[in-house]
Amino acid sequence: MQEDKRTVVVTTLPVTPKFNRGLGSFTTVFVADMFNRWVGGRLFTPVNLISRIKKYRRSEADVDSARYYDILMKLGIVPVRTWRDDDPDFQERIKSIIEFFRVEGILTPRCISLLSCPCGAIEIPSDHLLTLYNSKLVENLSGQNPVCRKCSNSLKEVQMMVIKLDTSAVYERELSCTPSFWEKEVRNLFAGFPKKEIIISKRAVIEETKELLGVTFSEETYYLDPVFRWSQFLSGLDDVDDVVIVTGSRTVPYAVLSVWYAGIISPRINFSLLVHPSITFKDDKGTMRATTEELLDRYSRGEIRTLLGVGMTWGKESIIDSSLLYLIGHSIAPPKLLLNSELPEKRSKDLILSGSRSFIRWFNTKKVKELITRVRRGHQITQSDLQLLSALLA
């Protein structure tokens, strides 16, 4: 019987390129690359370049995007598709999505009470302050005087016309997660959306992004929330069967929100999440300060990828001693056997449904450390070890 082959996309959430950060900021795209090699899919690596409150220049965005993808190439990560939220084609798709929501009757203009700050980073319904999304943005969340962390000003209540997404009639669906301990939180997030007012417009936008964020609705101009805008990145995946979103433990709510939006537009696609731990690298001076580009100048990509692999505890957090780079560099070398150790093509429906859990049994901290030890000591390694080593050395 012929195997049931499915079109599988493995993707990260849209990444905002930042180059003064350490290796941990490239964990998600690395895990996505490893899982894509395991499952035999198509790797997507989207970037987010538009902000409401930071200056935007197309020329600077081009440079940042090119630099980000150059780092991916040096890390052995080669996507089959790239995506930018300032792409003209995506702008047209956003207009189509807004029109679709309008025709469906789930978008409505409304005057509501919002909590806002002078810099514009915070604009949220007054009764939504205590949400998982805002913990990084607001200080003193549960106190009497919540403060914006960006501008250090107190939040003030204002009345504002917004575009509200009516969630009461929106679909319900299951979203599988790996590791499985995330499933309860994801179910709660899904269940919570219909109980909230989801505001997709914002008041505060800078002049450089008004053309990209502006939409006309009920003969009035509104500016889209960039988070809503980039969250539609899954809307163009109409030609696929399965989409696996690889995300860090701190961005699970945004991944769930993106799937929730995509389910309105593309309900037939099977979505799932693979959630990796947030990794912190330590050295003898504390948190490792070297940037990814600096590390790539000193070490091979195989050494760096293996260090990232050591962090795959598959819990919520992982702390790694960067001195392991020395041990890795003196242990791992590409054996000639790697030339014939490619992973077999795996696209059956059953594997997509269970593949992520098989993946974390194959690729985890214990397996990577055992592999390093066996190679360093010259012990015999299995075909599965060779496949893991091949994927790490890329």
Looking at CATH, the fold of the domain delimited by 8-85+239-393 is given as: Rossmann fold (3.40.50)
Question: pTM for the full model?
Answer: 0.88
Q: What is the pLDDT along the chain (394 residues), one digit of tens a residue?
A: 344 567 899 999 999 998 888 899 999 999 999 999 998 899 999 999 887 556 778 888 899 999 999 999 999 999 998 889 888 888 889 889 988 888 888 888 888 888 888 877 788 777 665 554 555 678 766 667 788 888 888 888 888 888 888 776 565 667 889 999 999 999 888 777 766 668 888 876 666 677 778 888 778 888 888 888 899 999 878 788 899 999 999 999 899 989 988 888 777 888 999 999 999 998 877 778 889 999 999 999 999 999 999 999 999 999 999 888 888 888 875 544 444 445 555 544 455 556 788 899 999 999 999 988 888 888 888 888 888 888 998 7
Residue 10 phi, psi dihedral angles, 5° rounding: -110, 125
Residues carrying CATH 2.170.220, the chain: 88-95+105-236
Contact in structure between 260 and 190 (CB atoms under 8 Å): yes
Q: How far is the C-alpha of 63 from the C-alpha of 101, rounded, in Å? A: 34
- The CATH number given to 88-95+105-236 is 2.170.220
Contacting residues for 342 by C-beta, under 8 A, at least 6 apart:
387, 390
State the number of CA atoms in the 13 A half-sphere of 85 facing the CB.
Answer: 27
Residues carrying CATH 3.40.50.620, the chain: 8-85+239-393
- Given phi > 0 = left and psi -120 to 50 = alpha, else beta, which region is 230? alpha
Rounded to 5°, the CA angle 313-9-17 comes to: 65
